[in-house]
Structure 1
Amino acid sequence: MKRSFFTRCLFIVTLAITSASAQTTISDQETETYVSDKSISTATLGKDYTGSPYANDEFQNGTVYGTNNVLATNVVLRYNVLRDEIEIKSNANASNSEARVLVKSPDIYVRILNNMYVYKTPTSNSDVSGYFLVMVEGENKSLYKKIKKKYIEGKKSINSVSSDILPMYKEIDVMYLVTETGEFEEIPNSRNKRIGLFADHKKEVKQYIKEEKLNVSKDYELVDLVKYYNTL
């Protein structure tokens, strides 16, 4: 990334607060640059399943950003993980039939409550693509999470003692370390291999892990480690 995404976000958040001209609905002509004419998918499996195809079932307050400006504020958004789409409505009271799918572009990203989602397209060096949840944004290394949903078929019980196993959406999270040049590196599960990702400051990183008693096998503690690494 030639320019820190974090720096851009600070600029855009400031702009959102100070700009009185930011879009507040999705009915203006300019929306064609970030809202597609694609309706959202409303197909469900009925009530008898567990999990969810969404990051959150409900539409939540959010903001849509462009590269250097705020595209929409006071809208509601929902991340359809299964389809890897961001859904948008003008407000929470609007019917789902009015909802549309956001245009997929690296130049368009969103904040849903306190979560920032960015979009990446495949490159000649990597097929990593789709929406990513920003866990840490740093000048040297960033930490992104790719949320995936796997649909697992249910099973009928084979006798009167056991119960049916409902179909389910199982969440699978994949963490990526992102370099300052925008390269994505999948983070392995092994503790030692995770530490090895910070080889240029291995001594300091190992000392910090020891002092803070971090379990870097846990994704949420990996967040602390990446934040620390960016101070070195």
Structure 2
Amino acid sequence: MKTKKNTLCLLLIISIINISPIFSQSGKIIESNLRGQFFNSIKTNINNVKSNVTGSPYLNEEFTPARIALNKEERIYNMRYNAYSDVFEFKNEKNEKYAINKSIKDVTITLISTGKVFELIDYKDGDFNKKGYFIHLSLKNDSVKLFKKNSVLYVPAKTSSNGYNKPKPAAFIKNSDKFYLRINDNPAILIPRNKKDFAKLFPALSKDILAYIKTNKIKTSKEADLLKLINYINSIQ
């Protein structure tokens, strides 16, 4: 019974407008009462890419095989990550495009070509809690986890202000990567650049952390250094 429930949850995480084209066989197991409960809530439209814009909202324009996992169930689909809209897009055999529902919890997506593992997690954006896709960099079972956020910015077009400078078209521009820290199951937070501010996140360990940062010349803006630091923190807790 538990296996059937997990399989059902996995089928429901794909946001679809018409469920029958993709799951012609598996769709039969979706009972009418569950369809009414989940189908309307997961219905999602793909963000239309703006025309006449340079650059791309995607990390990779091509749909490539990706393994999507929920609990112990896994499936492989052709997918791509829209870093501007922060959604994973899915394409079926009929070339129809959909988006994964972001309200489903505990979803991981592994890009088979690169091995990058994206997790859908809660994170702090100022005073607000949001949900988004992050690349998981640390060990899965660590109590303190390191994540990296890829994003793309949309820059509106600029007209010539005086007739001499050239107008600039609208553009998608890759933003610099940002690193986030997740302690236990709390929402992930942006890692402070200041070393003392970072150490304050762990009051009982702050002196040890600052000593480690100084001795090992750790820079909290570098991925490799942050991994060393996070591994150290997990080792002394």
Question: With structure 1 as the length reference, what TM-score do the two structures score?
Answer: 0.68
Q: SS state of the match for residue 208, structure 1? A: helix
Post-superposition Cα deviations, 1:3-33, rounded to whole Å, max 9, x if no partner, equal xxxxxxxxxxxxxxxxxxxxxxxxx998632
Alpha-carbon distance in 1 for matches of 2:206, 2:8: 52
Post-superposition Cα deviations, 1:40-76, rounded to whole Å, max 9, x if no partner, equal 63733345423x2123222222101011222xx4422
Alpha-carbon distance in 2 for matches of 1:205, 1:35: 42
Is the CA contact 2:52–2:170 (under 8 Å) kept in the aligned structure 1?
A: no
1:201 aligned partner: 205
Structure 2 gaps, min length 5? 1-6, 18-43
Is the CA contact 1:150–1:172 (under 8 Å) kept in the aligned structure 2?
A: no
Alpha-carbon distance in 2 for matches of 1:145, 1:122: 12
Q: SS state of the match for residue 127, structure 1? A: strand
Post-superposition Cα deviations, 1:179-219, rounded to whole Å, max 9, x if no partner, equal 12334333223232123323332333233323332212334
Q: Do residues 162 (structure 1) and 165 (structure 2) align? A: yes
Is the CA contact 1:145–1:175 (under 8 Å) kept in the aligned structure 2?
A: yes
1:32 aligned partner: 11
1:190 aligned partner: 194
Higher RCO (CA < 8 A, seq sep 6+): 1
Q: SS state of the match for residue 88, structure 1? A: strand
Pairs within 5 Å for 1:100-111: 100-104=98-102, 105-111=104-110
Q: CA deviation at 1:111?
A: 0.9
Is the CA contact 1:190–1:217 (under 8 Å) kept in the aligned structure 2?
A: no
1:9 aligned partner: none
1:67 aligned partner: 71
Structure 1 gaps, min length 5? 1-27
1:18 aligned partner: none
Is the CA contact 1:62–1:74 (under 8 Å) kept in the aligned structure 2?
A: yes
Write the letter of the residue equivalent to 1:190: N
Alpha-carbon distance in 2 for matches of 1:183, 1:37: 28
Alpha-carbon distance in 2 for matches of 1:200, 1:220: 24
Alpha-carbon distance in 2 for matches of 1:189, 1:96: 47
Alpha-carbon distance in 2 for matches of 1:222, 1:121: 20
Change (3 A) 1:218 1:126: same
Aligned pairs, number: 197
- Please point out which of 224, 227, 232 is paired with 2:231: 227
Alpha-carbon distance in 2 for matches of 1:122, 1:210: 29
1:120 aligned partner: 121
| Higher alpha-carbon Rg | 2
1:24 aligned partner: none
